[in-house]
Amino acid sequence: MEIALGLKYVGAGLMFGLAAIGAGVGAGILSSKLIESIARQPELEDQLRPTYFLGIGLVDAVPMISVGLAFYLLFVA
């Protein structure tokens, strides 16, 4: 029984950690591509910015789902 409890904590920790790493990498790539696009064509900045914010929102939604599932795993399952 103690092994199962320990594995539950390890699984939740992995979910927290991998979600944070994935969000950081995704946001970094998205931001670098925005800066690169604006540097290439500055006149498109007003069109690129809303798409960037939509993308950042989607990138940040996935870790929130993972954190919710990790809390479910810790406290309910």
- Of 1 and 12, the one with more pLDDT: 12
pLDDT in tens, 14-66: 999 999 999 999 999 999 999 999 999 999 999 999 999 999 999 999 999 99
Taking alpha carbons only, the member of 64, 76, 74, 73 closest to residue 20 is 64
Q: What pLDDT shows up at residue 1?
A: 76
* Confidence at 77, pLDDT banded by 50, 70, 90: confident
So which residues are the catalytic ones? 60
Let me know: does 13 contact 67? Beta carbons within 8 Å. Answer: no
Ordered structural domains, the chain, with CATH: 2-75 (1.20.20.10)
pTM summary value: 0.80
pLDDT at 32: 97
